[in-house]
Amino acid sequence: MIDVEDLIALVRNYNPRCNAEMIRKAYAYGFKMHDGQMRKSGEPYFTHPVAVAAILTEQRLDDATIVTALLHDTIEDTRSTYTEVASLFGEEVAELVDGVTKLTNLQLSSTESQQAENFRKLFMAMSKDLRVILVKLGDRLHNMRTIKSMKPEKQAQKARETMEIFAPLAGRMGMQWMREELEDLSFKVLNPEARNSIMRRFVTLQKESGDVVHKITADIRHELEKAQIEADVYGRAKKPYSIWRKMQEKDLAFSRLSDIYGFRVICGSVQDCYRILGVIHQRWRAVPGRFKDYISQPKSNGYRSIHTTVSGRDGKRVEIQIRTREMHEVAEAGVAAHWSYREGVRAKNPFAVDPAKWIATLTERLDEGDTDEFLENVKLEMYSDQVFCFTPKGDVIQLPRGATPLDYAYAIHTRIGNSCVSAKIDGIRVPLWTRVKNGQSVEIITAEGQRPQASWIDIVTTGRAKAAIRRSLREEDRGRFVKLGQELARAAFDHLGKKATDKALRTAAKMLGLSDENDLLARIGSAEMPARRVVETLYPDLAQATAEEVDAKRPVVGLTADQTFRRAQCCQPVPGERIVGITYRGQGVVVHAIDCPRWKSLKPDPALVDLHWHSGRHAPVYTISLDVTISNDAGVLGRICTLIGEQKANISDLRFTDRKPDFYRLIIDVDLRDVEHLHMVMTALEAETDVAQISRHRDLTKRP
């Protein structure tokens, strides 16, 4: 938890004349009121109001707003009262705290009719003092950052509410950074598979093309220096949710998405903005239709900037925003810039919007009773933008935006979806990946014997369609996996001199908590479960007796009595893998994996020694390195280490190779028994949602 003096230091950074005594008093009062209360995570509850106050210091807000953040839950959750807060901190703070309390009590994620009325109340509260919603947004941001400690169903409800209401509201207020973070945190809860997929693709892209952001930033700076224009240039990869939304809107695969990087050029004057635009367009080709001048035509929330997209380095499209420093302050803080302080006085930013006028434009339509249009504008496209299409008989089918004829087919009936072979939209035959638009008539053509294809998973967008396709694919593959499982089980039982009878398999299935022997065999055949585990479950003593412990000093067969050996560090072979021995002068025999390119590249041809691993149970002393990319989130690394420990594997070293706002990349050295043990560890990690990518790390630059 941030100490009170540290919090005051954050405020003094932009407001040296702040009322430090009032902040200390509010900190002590809040600490006392919340004493004994705990968050779901187990932390003292007061850590939350302090974190909200710290978030609001980033927007350089006034003392009253910071004090309100510290006290925003006291009237609702403690014995504190409005009268007591007013007597201690004044009417202004009491009104703000009371306003935040009323907002918290609004059930925003209710039915549409109730929602419209609650939005009316929300904006009535905002119209009295917009700082109320600034505190509420800070409150929601911290809750979303720490949402992992809540129950899954509660996480989903809060994330949906954030995506539909608070993120768009932050965007309308011009606080784009907050909108992006709220959207991405919600996206992480609501669609973790899609987010992890984008993160994995980012990592792959970075491996292939290097640090594109650094290169393009340097290119822009070079051009500005040639033109003798002083400006700051910043670049960043866009947030995963922003990329995913563009993929949905434009119906593009990640590889075809152009502007996944954004760049900002911040200069001293409006004249410089247009000069910089000229320099950029002279150096790179502008993309038609991707130019917007929000300086000459500002947005209603005060946002001003020039946006252009150009074909930059290696033909990659990049979006560039050009603005002055004062415009940038408003772009970061939005309407909150009206309260911003600098050097102890209210900042006189000519581009900051008057909150009273801004709120009046928002509530105008509510006063006219036009709540439906307002709600549609506020809610996020991901959940509220629906496509209404028609069946050939004229019935209306409602689908999410971006849906395809396949989604439509599964929305009617699973049987129709499974047997779909093609589709017609408005009487014209179209590919199954076509996006359905409002008002179109869709007809599905089916054929007996047609089965879902694996590629359909990437075509559909609805959960119902994806689930039906996966279920059908599992059933289709099940027969093949059962047959393969029978062969693997027979071999494992024969090794112990036993028979893989139906009764034995049924007994093993019951002991392992599976439905029947076919379920067991399907898991063996699909490599979800090793056949050896079935044998060990039924005959633990016999299995242990046959698996003799291999001497770790002589684990390979094929060496003479006087030959020493060691594992090559470049490929790190483990028992169960095919190996070869290479004789190095003065080093004895070095054991390489058979597919290691290091020994194959040796000139002249190396002296080979035919080796293989001893059969039996090896000790967990063989170190291998794993290249793991994980989400940058609290507790993730701890869970990863726990998962490895649960597989009876020891971590001998861990080092970070890359740190980004969204993810960490690290190399983990793990001590293992054999290749099957390696597979168990990697499978356990791959199943963890916060692991974006995992692979075996082989450093071919290391000496053999």
Q: Which residue has the tokens 């694996």?
A: 454
Based on C-alpha coordinates, what's the Rg of the chain?
31
Q: What is the DSSP code string of 392-415?
A: TTS-EEEEETT--HHHHHHHH-HH
Rounded CA gap, 263 and 218, in Å? 11
The Cα–Cα gap between 304 and 324 comes to 9
* Cα torsion angle, 314, 316, 317, 320, sign: negative
How is residue 624 written in tokens? 């291998």
Burial of 24 (0-12, 13-18, 19+ CB in 10 A): middle
Q: Say if residues 672 and 625 touch (Cβ distance below 8 Å).
A: no
DSSP H helical ranges for 34-151: 47-57, 63-71, 74-77, 82-89, 91-105, 112-128, 131-145
Q: How far apart are CA 631 and CA 638, in angstroms?
A: 12
Catalytic residue ranges: 76-77
Residues β-bridged to residue 446: 420
Print the SS3 string covering 193-240: HHHHHHHHHHHHHHHHHCCHHHHHHHHHHHHHHHCCCCEEEEEEECCH
CA angle 362-367-371, nearest 5°? 75
Question: How many CA atoms, within 13 angstroms, populate the side-chain half-sphere of residue 491?
Answer: 11
Supply the DSSP symbol for 111. Answer: -
Phi, psi of 112 (to 5 degrees): -60, -40
Phi and psi dihedrals of 581, rounded to 5? Answer: -100, 140
Cα separation, 334 vs 568, whole angstroms: 58
Residue written as tokens 């954030």?
162
Return d(Cα 546, Cα 174) in angstroms, integer.
69
Residue 368 tokens, joined: 């006219």
Give the other-Cβ count within 10 Å of 617's Cβ.
16
Distance set, CA 51 to CA 145, 170, 456, 540 (Å): 11, 18, 45, 54
